[in-house]
Structure 1
Amino acid sequence: MSRKGETMTDPDLDKAYALQTPDDNRRLYADWAKSYDTGFAADMDYQLPRLVALLLAEIYQGPGPVLDLGAGTGLIADNMLMRGSFDIDALDISPEMLATATAKGHYRRTIEADLTRPLDIADGTYDAVVSSGTFTHGHVGPDALDEVIRIARSGALFVLTINAEHFETRGFAAKFEELAPKIGDLEHRSVNIYGGKATADHRDDQADIAIFRKR
């Protein structure tokens, strides 16, 4: 999918999948923030944020607070707020992506944080946690789920997407087995990440949507 002569000011999905460190993420998404919605998300017919929002609306009664984990430019919130009124906070590693999200006016507050490190958020803060595209090929692995569960209250709903290609190989399947005493009502749904307009290279990419509650 990369084009000859492409630079880091022309980010694409292949570059995002190649990310390895928090600094890699910050650099790439700083370049991508302004064009992400109208470029990548539109061109690839990116479906995951809408699917996550639909599942949340199907199960969750609100009003929150809800944490949008790896919120990026706020695509989940774009879709959530078409279906109800929620108090939503956005967490992301990229200040530039958060600035784009903030400008939409959807969020109660934004939190700049790296999910591979402890979060400066109190235990039991959130009634629901959603995420689209955060648990993928990049630096955020399954161990981040421990901290994410800590900051949710008992009974909180989770709707998290995980790239299907790495669900087994990066240890997410094993992590959910380990988390069994802490979570309940676990359900996995396999979905297409992109719609019919996506380029051939990634048209068939799939994600696992993990839906569960904290015990």
Structure 2
Amino acid sequence: MPRNSPDLSSAYALDGADASRRLYAEWAETYDITFAADMAFLIPGHVRDLCARHGARGPVLDIGAGTGLVGEALAAEGIGPVDAIDLSPEMLEVARAKGVYRALHAADVTRPLDLPGGYATLVSSGTFTHGHVGPDALPHLLEAAAPGALFILSINAEHFAAHGFDTALDALPVTDLMFEDRPIYGAGAKGDHAGDLTRMTIFRRA
């Protein structure tokens, strides 16, 4: 990979929406190979498995859908329809080509969202992490959810602790809150973050 190509370290160092847009515009075409495959990215599979376990049903909102890795995983389980939301139009164009989404929305989830609402399931794979999205997005996402909607969010475990997700969740109208810590990357992953954990955060909108 060229020395200045986007990578996990540059993603974790992001500061603000404009920096994210620039990075992912450049990374979109190679993301599935230079990140997801090279790092054996496991979270889309975790989301799929938890959706099956907890009886997820559509419509589903894939938060920070990126190139559509979660959409592909859910389509394989017959869970849908699925809509995608992501900050990067370029990443969404890659996702669109996979044909697994009903609709795609380019938007910043840390701001009020112009979405149809009424989602029965809301999922996320890697958006709540260093340099990306904190707990300030949660109220906006709850507004897009139907009463009783299932949330399955991957939150980087260090990010979870550093940004007070526990306190934020306690203040929101959610029920049935539970956590599972799982590896983010599989065998063969290399680098300083190869052993990082995600805190799979499962709850329902009250």
Q: Distance in 2 between matches of 1:139 and 1:199?
A: 21
Cα deviation digits, residues 73-125 of structure 1 (max 9, x gap): 00011111111141000000000000000000000000000112110124x42
> Which of 145, 154, 162 pairs up with 2:147?
154
Instruction: Name the % identity.
Output: 50
- Other-structure match for 1:39: 34
Contact 2:12 2:132 in 1 (8 A): no
Structure 1 counterpart of 2:52, one-letter code = A
Does residue 69 (structure 1) correspond to residue 60 (structure 2)? The answer is no
Deviation, 1:6, is 2.0
Does residue 120 (structure 1) correspond to residue 117 (structure 2)? The answer is no
Contact 2:12 2:131 in 1 (8 A): yes
Q: Distance in 1 between matches of 2:163 and 2:204?
A: 22
- Other-structure match for 1:26: 21
Query: Any stretches of 5+ residues in structure 1 without a counterpart?
Result: none
User: Structure 2 vs 1, CA of residues 204 and 148 (structure 1 numbering), >3 Å: closer, same or farther?
Assistant: same
Deviation, 1:30, is 0.5
Contact 1:126 1:152 in 2 (8 A): yes
Matched position secondary structure for 2:111:
coil
Q: Relative to structure 2, which stretch is displaced further, 150-159 or 79-88?
A: 79-88
TM-score (norm 1): 0.92
> Which of 161, 184, 197 pairs up with 2:188?
197
Q: Distance in 1 between matches of 2:45 and 2:79?
A: 16
TM-score (norm 2): 0.96
Q: Distance in 1 between matches of 2:131 and 2:182?
A: 20
Matched position secondary structure for 2:30:
coil
> Which of 109, 131, 137 pairs up with 2:130?
137
- Other-structure match for 1:165: 158
| Count of aligned residue pairs for this structure pair | 206
Structure 1 residue ranges, 4+ long, deviating more than 6 angstroms after superposition? none
Matched position secondary structure for 2:35:
helix
Deviation, 1:60, is 2.1
Contact 1:56 1:159 in 2 (8 A): yes
Cα deviation digits, residues 119-154 of structure 1 (max 9, x gap): 0124x4201000011010124210110010111000
Contact 2:12 2:130 in 1 (8 A): yes
Matched position secondary structure for 1:103:
helix
Does residue 82 (structure 1) correspond to residue 76 (structure 2)? The answer is yes
